[in-house]
Chain A
C-alpha cells in the first residue's frame, strides 16, 4: 500500500518519487557539468551551461523539499545493523543533503560573480546573488569542484551500500525505497 507520509516501516510515495527524481537528475548533472567545463567556448558550451544551471536549481529545490518533508514527518527506522553503521549511514545522508545544497549554491555564486546572466530553461531569470568579483568566482568554482568530487565519493558509497544490502545482505533496504 502506498502512503503519502513516511511511516516507521516504509517510505511514502512522495519521498520515493523525489528520491528517484533526484537520482536521475544528479546522474545527468555530474557528467554534464564536467563535459561542459571541458569544452572550449562555443554556442554548445553556453547552451549546456544553461541546462547545467537549470538542472542545478531543480536539484536545490528537490533537496529543500525533501528536507522539509523529512523534518515535518518521520522516516522509516533503520534496519538491524550496528550502531556504528547507523552513525555512518546518518553521516552519509547528512553529507548528501549538504552537498545537494552546497553544489547549486556554489554554482550560483560562481555564475553571479562571473557576471554571467542566467535564464533557467530559457524561461526564468535567475537573479545574481553577488556582484561581479573575479576572486569570489575562483573561490566558489573551487568549492564547487571539491564538492562534486566529494559527492561522487559519497554516491559510490551510497549506491554500493544499497546494492550490498539488497544483493548480499538481502534485507529490505532497497525494496522499501522501490515502488
Chain B
C-alpha cells in the first residue's frame, strides 16, 4: 500500500518533470525562430523541362521558420506536390521519382545566413530530399512590409511594428543529385535534369511575446 503511494508520487514527479522539460523545449523552440510562413499566402513552385518545354509544379504544403541572419528551416510535405495532371501526379509519387511512401518530407536547414546586398541574403545549408543530404545555397530577398492587411493595427498605436515580410527567391537544383527521376529517366532527354525552384513566402512575426 505504502509502496504504491510512493510509486504514484514518483510517477507524478516524473510526469511533471517531463512536462517541464517539454515546456522548456517548446519555449526554446518558439523563441528559436521568430518568423513563420503564412501558408495561405505562400508559394513554393518549380519548373522542369518536359519534352523541351517548361512544365510547372508546386508543393501546396510547406512551412518556413526563420530567425533573421541566424536560422532558416524549411519543411516541405512532398506528398502535396501538384503538377496539374493526374497521370503525372500519380507517376511522380512512385519510387523512380519522389518515392513518397519512403520520403514524404524534404527539409532545408541553414544556420549560416549572410547578407549579400540590400535586403538580399544567402542561406548556406543542407537540403534533405528523398533521404539524400546535399549542401545547398538558397538566395533570398527579404522585404518587410510595414503592416499587413490581415492584422489591423489600432490607430492609437504609437509605433507600427513590422509584422509581415516577403521572402522570395529562386535557385536551380539538379534532380539527379537527389535520385529523382532515376533509371530510364536519368538521361534528362524527356524530363530535364535542372529544376528551377521559386518561392514567394509571406512571413509573419511570431506575436506571442
Contact = CB atoms under 8 A, between A and B. Distances in A.
B184 A43 contact: yes
Interface in A59-89: none
A115 to B, nearest CB: 4
Interface in A12-65: 41-43, 46-47, 50
B53 A43 contact: no
Given A43-B185, A43-B189, A43-B190, A119 B51 contact: yes
Contact of A114 (B54, B87, B187, B190): B87
Contacts of B91: 41
Given A46-B190, A122-B52, A115 B184 contact: no
Nearest to A49: B51
A98 interface: no
Nearest to A42: B184
Interface in B101-151: none
B176 to A, nearest CB: 15
Listed residue (B50, B51, B55) with the most chain A CB atoms within 10 angstroms of its CB: B51
A122 B51 contact: yes
Nearest to B84: A115
B50 A117 contact: yes
Main secondary structure, interface of B, reads mixed
B156 interface: no
Listed residue (A42, A43, A46, A119) with the most chain B CB atoms within 10 angstroms of its CB: A43
A134 B86 contact: yes
Contacts of A47: 51, 190
Contacts of B54: 117
Contact of A132 (B50, B84, B190, B191): B84
Contacts of A119: 51-53
Contacts of B52: 119, 122
Contact of B85 (A46, A115, A122): A115
A118 B51 contact: yes
Given A43-B189, A114-B85, A115-B55, 20 more contacts: A41-B87, A42-B184, A43-B184, A43-B187, A43-B190, A46-B190, A46-B191, A47-B190, A115-B83, A115-B85, A116-B50, A117-B50, A117-B55, A118-B51, A119-B51, A119-B53, A122-B51, A122-B52, A132-B84, A132-B85
28 contacts: A41-B91, A43-B184, A43-B185, A43-B189, A43-B190, A43-B191, A46-B50, A46-B191, A47-B51, A50-B51, A114-B85, A114-B87, A115-B55, A115-B83, A115-B84, A116-B55, A116-B85, A117-B50, A117-B51, A117-B53, A117-B54, A117-B55, A118-B51, A118-B53, A119-B52, A119-B53, A122-B52, A134-B86
